[in-house]
Structures are given as C-alpha cells and as structure tokens.
Structure 1
Amino acid sequence: MTHQLIFWLTAISIFLVIYHHLGYPLLLKLLVRRPSSNEENTHEGTPARGYRESVADSDLPTISVLMPAYNEANWIADKIRNLAALDYPSNKLQVILACDGCSDDTANIARQTAAEALCAHLNVTVIEYTENAGKVAVINTTMPQIKSDIVAFSDISALISIDAFYIAARHFQDPTVGVLNSRYCLLNPAEGEQKYWDYQSRIQSNEAQLGSSLGAHGALYFIRGHLFTPLAQDTINDDFVLPMQIVEKGFRADVHDAIQAVELEPTNAHQDFRRRLRIGAGNCQQLLRLFRLLNPARGGIAFTFASGKGLRVLMPFFMLTALLGSALLAPSNGFFALAVLGQIFIYLAVGFWHLAGYQPKGSIAKSLVYLVTGHTANFIGTLRYITGLETGKWTRVSEVSKNTHKEASK
C-alpha cells in the first residue's frame, strides 16, 4: 500500500513538472485561435499619429500615468523626458509622480526636468508623501484623485515605446478589455533572463487568447480607471492582483506586443534572486486570495490560472516529491532509477556552477540554471509568506545592493 502511494505521488509529480514546463506551453499553442485578418488589422496595424494633431484627437480617452516612486533619483529625469516624447495629445495626458517618503532628490529632479523646454508641455504633478508607507499604500491613496478614462502604471526605470499610449487608446475601444499589458524588454539582461521573459511573453499572449492574460508587469500596464478597487495593504505583487481583480469583474486582460517597456536598470544574480523571492511569496498569496478564479465555470481563465500560476507555486514541492520518490523507488524500478540520476545530475551541476561562479555556455544549460534558481527562490519565498516573514514593503534594487554591500563589508 505504501509502495503504491509513493509510486503514484512520484509519477504524478514528475508528470506535473513536465506538464508545467513543456506540456502547458505546447497545449496553449494548440488551443489558441489564430487572429483573423480583421483582428490583425485592428491590433497590429494601428496607424501612427506621427505627432500630427487632428480633429479625431478629441475622441481619444484621457490617460493618467501613475508612477509610485521610492528613491528614483537615478532614473526620474530620463523617465519624464521619455513621457514628454510620446506621441499622444498633451491635453489628454497627465503624469503623476507619487513619492513614497523618498530620502533622495527624486521630487526636485522631477520638477526641474518637467520645466525643461522639451518637457514643458507635459502636465506633471509631483506628490510627496512624508512617510514611506509602501507602494500599495501609495496606489490606494493616489488613485481616488485620478479621474482619467485610462490609468497607466509604470516603473520609473522603464522607458516606453513612442506610440504606446495611442495604441492603448485604440485597444480600449473594445468594451470587454479592462486591462492591457505591454511587452517587457531588458536593456542589459542577466544570463538566461531574456530567454525567460521571452518565454513568459509568449505564454502571456497565448493566455490572453484563451480568455485573459494573468496579471501584468509593473514596467507598464493600463487599466480602465473606474474599475480600480483598493488593494489589501499587505498585497505583495500589486501588478498581478490589481489586474486580476478587474478580470474577476468580467473584463479581459489583454496584451499588445507593439507596446513595449524597456527596463534600464541592470540586475546581477543576487539582486535577481531577491526579486524572485518576493515574486515567490506573492505567487503564494495570489493563489490563496484569488482561489475563486480556479472555478471551472470561468473556462479558459480557470485553466490558465491553474496551469500557470497555481502550478508555479506548487512546483518546488512537486520537484522535491519527484526527487525523493524516485530515490525510494529506484532500487526496484529502472525508470525511476534513471529519473533520480537525471534529477541529481541537474541539481548538482546547477549548484556547482552557482558556487563556482561559472556561467554555462549552452542555451539549454543557461535555461536550466535560471529555472532551478527560480524555483529555489519560489520555494523560499513561499515559505517566507507562510511563516509571515514577507512584509510586502518595497525596496529599490539599488537600495538592496547598497545594503548588501554594507553587510558584506562588516
């Protein structure tokens, strides 16, 4: 009886590990419908304004860009100049910089940049909150002051493609769309990171065709302003929970590859791991709080949420079960003997490369390193959330790097 239980737990775990990484992406490709020529013209063939004013501009929706900021002095000038260069009528665009108890010169630099000749047409509002209350608190406090048709959330360190807002405005002509995601790009990606985000972008596009993409990336996404619901104060990944709250209301979260956000701030392996710890904790929180999205009555959304987000949270536990179960079954079963040898080889190789600081050359090896490292962070992040160690309070990557350097020098 015990042997049978171990067998089925191990077999199911191995199946789910393979399904999540290979089967689900392939199944999405088979299930999604190809856009008709009409849809291609609507979504991909959006004509550019070319900065030309026209009578049709009066029909464009108003857009507010909300940028919560904590110590962004390094990037804020470039961000405001980028927004000033976007192809969208200035009388339809508002930029709100909400400084969350910044201890640097973010607010002053923003005001100085907004006064430059090339940025003077931009409607920039700088709000300075005195205490560092966290990103979620900033969003909840600032959103009631925004009356625009569409609200764009964007990270300070991400530059936006020139026609992004005009394309978004056209896309929101579809009344079923409540959220629109951009394509996330990296200026200086770490090893394996760009492949991972390209993979995630393909998954997100396919999920959108099945019903709705899951969440968004904080670099840039849009929502209908009136659909905003205040977030729980302890929300970890606001850029997932906020879009999915809108999806719960019956609207779609779509994605448009022509809208791009390019991340300027480089990260090293240590910083990326810390970021993924937080994402892992957030994933666990999302699964628990949005559990009703698994209701089969929601169709494609339930399928993608279970296969994507749900299995991502549980994946480290399935991987451990697959490893331990294979080890127990190996003496009496050739398949599990090969399975345990393969798993041990991969984990030891990744661990050795990590400790030695070695970067493998092959694309498969790089992907394995990034995946195993990611699931390790996911496992630790999940445990941190369950034990209450993850506070949900944001910290800039540069601040993390600074604090890490201080600790190392002690």
Structure 2
Amino acid sequence: MVPVTCRTEYLTGRHHRSATAAWVLMVAGMVALVALNVAGVDGLVTSAVVGAAIVASLLGAAFGRLGERGAVLLTVDEDTVYFGNEDRTLVSYPLSSLVTVAVGGPADATSDMTGERVRHLTVIGQKYLKLTFATRDGKPVPADRTPRDRDDDPDTAPETHFWRVAVVEGDPAVAEVLARLRRHAPERIATRKKTATSAGQQPRAAAASAPPDEPVDLTRPPTSGPRIVDAGSDEAAQRLWEEAARRHDEVLGAYGSYELDPAMLLRYPAVTDVTVDQTQTFHLALDEAMALRTDDYPGNRSRADAYQQSVARLRRAWIACEKNGRRVGASYLEQGDQDDLDTALKLYNHAAASTTPAEQATYYGRVRDIVSTMTDRGVLHPPEAAVAELQAVTRRALEAGTPKA
C-alpha cells in the first residue's frame, strides 16, 4: 500500500515576531515624520530617519516571510500511522492500536505543541483529527475489540493516548488518510453500566443490567416518508427539502444543548464522547448531512434527495446516541472517574446556586480543573464548545468578582 501524507502549515513565532516588529517600525517612522517636521529638523535628516525606519520595517517583514512555515505532518501506510510537528519530532503508532478516530474543530488557536499540550497538534482555523490509541506502560498495544471480562486483572487494562492532529479540510489526501484510519479503527462495544465486582456490592443504578442499544446502520435506507426523488412537482420537492432542513436544525439544536451546558456534559458525558460507538455513529451521520446541506434548495433532485436521506439517517443516529447517553450516564467510565464527574457536577450546581462571584469562580475553576485533567488523561472527550462554555462561565464569575477601579 502506497503511503499517503497530508501536511498542514502554520505561521511560526518568527513570522509573528517579524510582523509585529515591522508594524512597530512603520508606525515609528510615521510618528518620527510628524515629530521631526514639527520640530523644524532639516528635511534631509527627516528623510533619512523616516527612510531608515521604513526600510527596517520592510526588511523585518521580508525576514518573516522568507522563513519556512511550521507544519503538522500526518502519514498512513499499510500498518502504521505517523504524525507530529515537522520541526520537532514525529511519533508513530501501529494501526492495530487505533481505538477511535473522529473529526473536530476548527481549532481556535495554534497550539504551542509542547509541555502539557504536546499531543495537541492544532492549527488555528483548521480542523483536526481526534485519534485515540491503546497503550500499556507508555507503549502501543492492540486495541481491545471485545469487552473486558469483569474478572480481568485491572493492572493489565490498556491505557489510551489521545491526540489532536491538524488537517486541511477539502484536501484529497486528508480524505484518503481518514478513510484508511476508519477502516483500521476496531469495532467498539456499546457502552455498558459497570457493575461492582466484590461480593455483596450492588450496581449504582438499575440500568447496569440493561442490554446495550442496537447500533445504527447508516447504510440502511429510511423506510418511511415521501422522498424528494419521487415528488410529483418541483414545488413538492422543495417543500420536502425544507422539511429535511428543519429536521436537521432540530437535531443540531438538541445536540447543542449538550454541547453548551456544562451540567449536561457532567451528567451525560457519553452523549458527546466520540469514543462511544453510538456517539461516533452520530457524528459520522452529522458529517454526511452537513456535507450535503446547501443554503437554498439545490434545484438538483438527486442531490436534494441524498440530503433528505442523510437527515433521516442522522435523526435515527441522534435518537440512538441520546438514548444511550442518558441511559448509561457516566457509568461506562471507571469508578474513580465516575466519582470525579459526580464531584464536578456538585461543584457546578453549587456555583450556579451561589450569589457570591468569588465563590462561583472558585467552584467553576475546580470544575474546569477536573474536566481538563480527565481530558488530558484521555478519559473524557468533551466537545470544544462545552469546554469553551465552562471557561466562559469561570471568566464571567472572575470578572464579576473583580472590583472596578
């Protein structure tokens, strides 16, 4: 199999510093021109000073533009995926260790790709792949394809490495890389309530014994409702398309309530956790529907019908995703992680009920720290919007508690 590589470039510190210096020098030259004229300085001296500032500004800008851009590389061959920062280091994982792959973004900022964010290879304005790999003792291991037996030794349980890798949307190489990764991602098991293993302990909720939800087959065509392709007139076809768009918006609104409410994230993390099979199935259906959607009726019945059918599959996937997420709550996580989320939810509720900005900021800050820690460990996979909303409420509480001068 021929390796496929995609490359996402970004501006480095050299580019930003050079641009800033060039701007400062240009402004300084303009200020000097006015100041020297007001002071009555000789024209030749004024010209020399201003000219020097402008030349220095242009040289600074050129220095930045001539520098090579940084780049995030992503390569997939027959059995291995390689990625990393081109200027620093590349890492590799066997495709057999790939647990999940999903698309996120676009990113709000370019990560510094060092320290705690060494696994966040994101570029501002670009989408990124969310890759989870199974590891043990820091080394890749084959991803589990079957649920662990409750009597398994917990010391041998695989850990995970979670990466964000920037990609350029619309790049054919990215589409091929994503297709290869999805072919190798193992079939995930529907989330199940974890039961206690010691004698005499009872499950934390009755849903523990509930059977896993049936997976949604996105290849199965919808079985009810009139189709656009069979509409008797163009007007009827357009009305059916508008109805599909309305249903699409309903799904987006329903999912948005989980993305934008931190309490929903803490109470039902599986709804937005892309490592859960029902959730990733929903995101695949969402990507398909968004790709086919247009601002207005396309006029092409085949395209409009494809969009209508994709929305029907999206609604089925969303119903399964939400049903599963509300059924399992946080119970698919390890007990310690469940307790952390329970603590975070209590802190969030305390903050929401508090009338003291300083107290709210403290509680919200602790919630943010818990979520960030679990995310960095690869245990929790919150959507960017949920994290942004949590940061926003924390910031608002801090600002409200800061005395005005």
**TM-score interval, smaller chain:** under 0.3
Q: Which has the larger radius of gyration?
A: 2
Greater RCO, CA 8 A, separation 6+: 1
